[in-house]
């Protein structure tokens, strides 16, 4: 019985062997580039992936920043991992000591660089917008517009025409692409989380207030003093005046009503026809004039027990409190240098 033997011509055998070697070399080269960092430098640099960037553009960006050795290999890894469409917009910290696989994982994770931003107590919406915009986190006009948007206000169940007073003062960490609405929602959620333990509804009812009035008065107290220890006493003055149906006559509410305030309250400003002018109208203004901190809110809910009806700045950050108008006027003459008969 004869046996059939396949005979491959020598030239074709050599070509076949060459192809095998070439494939192995290419695979080895691919594996090397895919698993090797550019160098051992562990210092991070920030890479910003802009909206609309393609995988090719991202890979070229990484190559230009010397974070990967070969842009085509990076793209091939993305396709092999089925992540070619998963790269997310934002800023990422990447070092040249990272292997391409880890870099791909980073830019598809959405874990962008977070920028700390502190919203001080007593800031109003326009000031918060300025601060966020100066840090490249929002568009100022869009931020203000959304805080006045009826749907946003309704979503958070705020009884007013804006979110003034409810953007809680705190240190936040936002990415450059967090989004204006998400930033607002984060601040509003923080307000809810911070105020929730205070039993605001129950305590406000006991004071014959609404929660909105509590935040409104807290915002005034926040603007009147930076001294935490004085807030319950200042709160008692306002509570006492409200009970006696006296005008609150507090400058911060007038300032809030003045457009383009230049830092000086003039006599004519005290007659400004605005519901926020507490020299002209009795009771609380329609809503908060700034974002109060937790201590100011607590001061409204737990005022000191006093008979004080007036206070005046001692020009050192503290205040002189009085029970009578005569005593108050004497304090004004003593601490304000001029005979200002502006009752508080």
Whole-structure pTM value: 0.82
Most confident of the ranges 23-27, 31-35, 149-153: 149-153
As a whole-number percent, the residues of the chain with pLDDT over 90 amount to 72
Reported as a single tens digit per residue, the pLDDT across 275-307 is 999 999 999 999 999 999 999 999 999 999 999
Note the pLDDT of residue 251: 92
pLDDT tens digits, residue range 124-175?
999 999 999 999 999 999 999 999 999 999 999 999 899 999 999 999 999 9
Q: What share of the chain is helix, strand, coil (3-state, %, to 5)?
A: 50, 10, 45
Residue spans of the domains in the chain: they are 42-112, 115-196, 209-336
Say if residue 15's pLDDT is above 80. no
How far, in whole angstroms, is CA 13 from its chain's centroid? 69
Helices (H) and strands (E) in the chain, counts: 14, 6
Which DSSP state fits 103?
Answer: H
Does residue 3 register a pLDDT over 70? no
Question: What are the pLDDT digits (tens) for 49-99?
Answer: 999 999 999 999 999 999 998 999 899 999 988 998 999 999 999 999 999
Class of domain 42-112: alpha beta
Dump pLDDT digits (tens) for 234-265.
Answer: 999 999 999 999 999 999 999 999 988 887 88
Question: How far is it, in rounded angstroms, from Cα 153 to Cα 147?
Answer: 7
Longest Cα–Cα distance in the chain: 133
- Taking alpha carbons only, the member of 225, 237, 226, 228 closest to residue 307 is 237
Mean pLDDT of 187-194: 97
Question: Exposure pattern of 217-250 as b/e (b: 16+ CB <10 Å)?
Answer: bbbbbbbbbeeeebbbbbbbbbbbbbeeebbbbb
């Amino acid at each position: 019985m004869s046996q059939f033997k396949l005979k491959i011509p020598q030239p074709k055998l050599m070509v076949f062997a060459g192809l095998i070697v070439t494939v192995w070399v290419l695979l080895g080269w691919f594996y090397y580039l895919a698993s090797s960092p550019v160098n051992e430098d562990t210092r991070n640099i920030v890479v910003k992936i802009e909206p609309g960037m393609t995988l090719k553009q991202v890979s070229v960006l990484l190559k230009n920043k010397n974070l990967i050795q070969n842009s085509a290999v990076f793209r091939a890894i993305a396709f092999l991992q089925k992540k070619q469409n998963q790269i997310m917009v934002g800023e990422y910290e990447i070092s040249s000591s990272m292997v391409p696989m880890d870099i791909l994982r980073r830019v598809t994770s959405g874990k962008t660089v977070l920028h700390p931003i502190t919203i001080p107590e007593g800031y109003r919406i326009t000031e918060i917008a300025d601060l966020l915009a100066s840090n490249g986190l929002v568009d100022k006009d869009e931020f203000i517009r959304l805080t006045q948007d009826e749907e946003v206000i309704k979503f958070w169940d705020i009884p007013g025409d804006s979110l003034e007073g409810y953007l809680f003062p705190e240190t936040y960490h936002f990415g450059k692409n967090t989004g204006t609405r998400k930033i607002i929602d984060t601040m509003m959620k923080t307000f809810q989380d911070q105020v929730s333990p205070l039993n605001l509804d129950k305590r406000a009812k006991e004071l014959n207030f609404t929660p909105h009035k509590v935040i409104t008065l807290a915002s005034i107290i926040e603007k009147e003093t930076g001294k935490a220890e004085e807030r319950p006493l200042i709160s008692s003055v306002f509570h006492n005046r409200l009970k006696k149906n006296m005008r609150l006559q507090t400058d911060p509410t007038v300032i809030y009503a003045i457009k383009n305030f230049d830092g000086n309250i003039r006599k004519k400003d005290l007659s400004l026809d605005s519901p926020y002018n507490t020299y002209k109208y009795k009771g609380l203004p329609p809503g908060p004039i700034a974002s109060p901190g937790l201590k100011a809110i607590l001061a409204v809910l737990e005022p000191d027990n006093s008979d004080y009806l007036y206070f005046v700045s001692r020009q050192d950050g503290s205040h002189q409190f009085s029970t009578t108008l005569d005593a108050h006027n004497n304090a004004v003459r003593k601490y304000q240098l001029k005979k200002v008969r502006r009752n508080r």
